[in-house]
Amino acid sequence: MTADPLLPPVFRVGNVEVIRVIEILAPFRAPEDTWPEDAEAATRAIAEMGDDLGGLIDPETGMIILAIQTYVLKTAKRTIVVDTCVGCDKTYPSIPGWHMRTNRSWLARMAAAGVAPESVDYVLCTHLHGDHVGWNTQLLDGRWVPTFPNATYLMTSVDETYVKAARPATWAESVSPVIEAGQARLVDTDFALDDEVWLEPTPGHTPGHVSVRLRSNGEEAVLTGDAFHSPLQCRFPEWRFFSDDDPAQAATTRRALFESLAETGRLVLPAHFPPPTVGWVTAEGDAFGFRYRPF
């Protein structure tokens, strides 16, 4: 049997085992739609970069390629799932590729990685947009139920309030059922699970957006959620992603995050970079770059 190309090798941060599981890897939006307020600059920069773009642009459509993916953290004490992708049967008419999906390959990839739903102790959501909470729940016999029956779901209270008002379908399908099941814990944006895993506020994309910090045996990593979406934003931190709730705050957060990561050796685990995905932020004059970790 051929190995699934979307399931990469397991790697470690100190003593923590990290598994990246991709749900979707596909062209997403045209550059001018991805960064609408910077459309001319984005189009020009992409043309100038040419072959340096690697796998970031689909050659047939010219669209930005994004991955929708989950990170699983296995510490000595617990198994933690960070963000749960789009899911199935979810209402997302603005993005046809996400709307009412029936493809359950994400669950199969999780199983292939040795992650059974019953084995997960925590589900940690960096924010509550639909592509980060979709597999929080699944539809069984016409009812939304938590996908991870034994897990505590950690969500920031700020984002729960925000998404309930801003994206009621996402809240009703992927957030509220977990709360009603008694499995949700609404936390502050600086919540610490333990000495190895804690949250760091990175607001702007949503009001309660967080990154996840990981430290083990002298090594560190940051799971950045949607603080940035593409390596292009390392070079152009000011570019506003189309779904940033507060563009000015998001740009400020992005630059501050890059400054805190550049040349530090902290491994960066972005939410949406296509493979090989993981790497390090580098300093490039007044801006930044991204160097991928080889697998």
Q: What is the pLDDT of residue 4?
A: 57
Q: What is the pLDDT of residue 5?
A: 57
Residue/partner pairs of 33-41 with CB below 8 Å, 24 or more apart: 33/242, 34/64, 34/229, 34/230, 34/241, 34/242, 35/239, 35/240, 35/241, 35/242, 36/240, 36/242, 37/240, 37/247, 38/236, 38/238, 38/239, 38/240, 41/236, 41/239
Q: What is the pLDDT of residue 10?
A: 87
Q: Using one digit for the tens of pLDDT, what is the confidence trace for 197-253?
A: 999 999 999 999 999 999 999 999 999 999 999 999 999 999 999 999 999 999 999
The tens place of each residue's pLDDT in the chain, 295 residues long, gives 345 556 666 899 999 999 999 999 999 999 999 999 999 999 988 888 876 777 899 999 999 999 999 999 999 999 999 999 999 999 999 999 999 999 999 999 999 999 999 999 999 999 999 999 999 999 999 999 999 999 999 999 999 999 999 999 999 999 999 999 999 999 999 999 999 999 999 999 999 999 999 999 999 999 999 999 999 999 999 999 999 999 999 999 999 999 999 999 999 999 999 999 999 999 999 999 999 998 7
pTM: 0.96
Q: What is the pLDDT of residue 48?
A: 85
- For 172-188, give the DSSP string: IIIIHHHHHTT-EEEE-
The domain 11-292: what is its CATH number?
A: 3.60.15.10
Q: What is the pLDDT of residue 55?
A: 83
